[in-house]
Amino acid sequence: MALPKEMRLKGYRTFNYIHKNSIKYHGKLMTFKVARSNPKILLSHNLTNISNNFRVAIAISKKVSKKAVDRNKKRRLLQEWLLTNIQKINTHKPYWLLVNLRIGDFCNDKNKLLEEFQNLMIKSRLIK
């Protein structure tokens, strides 16, 4: 299941802001970039709901898998975990999260991928 529109990050200005102003958390399988939200950047997208919500983008390079089907499965897996555990996320702290998967064969193990994702969510204090 895909993330709701109000949880997605859009636009090159948003990603430039995250790359410049983020705190980075590194794991074996992925990298997190967490930045304070800046709703003024989203004004150009004509969104009806421009609140300080928690927003996420998951980027998976072609270097991880050449097949789009495999990359989409990994992305959906991480999005599904986020949606099921959204209650644990601090909604009073508005953050934007960019997740980048690293290259390697170890990304094929779903359990390791989800465990690493959860560990980085705790390490970045997005989950209590």
56-103 pLDDT, tens per residue?
Answer: 999 998 988 889 999 999 999 999 998 888 766 655 568 899 999 988
31 located within any domain: yes
Residue 90 lies in a domain: yes
Least confident of 44-48, 83-87, 117-121: 44-48
Q: What is the pLDDT of residue 125?
A: 86
How large is the average pLDDT for residues 36-57?
Answer: 74
State percent of the chain over pLDDT 90: 41
Q: What is the pTM of this model?
A: 0.84
Residue 128 lies in a domain: no
pLDDT band at 10 (very low <50, low <70, confident <90, very high): confident
Domain with residue 66: its CATH number is 3.30.230.10
Query: Domain for residue 119, yes or no?
Result: yes
pLDDT given for residue 86 in this prediction: 77
How far is the C-alpha of 107 from the C-alpha of 114, rounded, in Å? Answer: 10
Whether 54 is in a domain gets the answer yes
DSSP count for the chain of H helices, then E strands = 3, 4
Structural domain containing residue 77: 5-123
Q: What is the DSSP string of 17-52?
A: HHHHHPEEEE-SSEEEEEEE--GGGGGGGT-S----
Is residue 108 pLDDT above 80, yes or no? no
Q: How many domains does the chain have?
A: 1
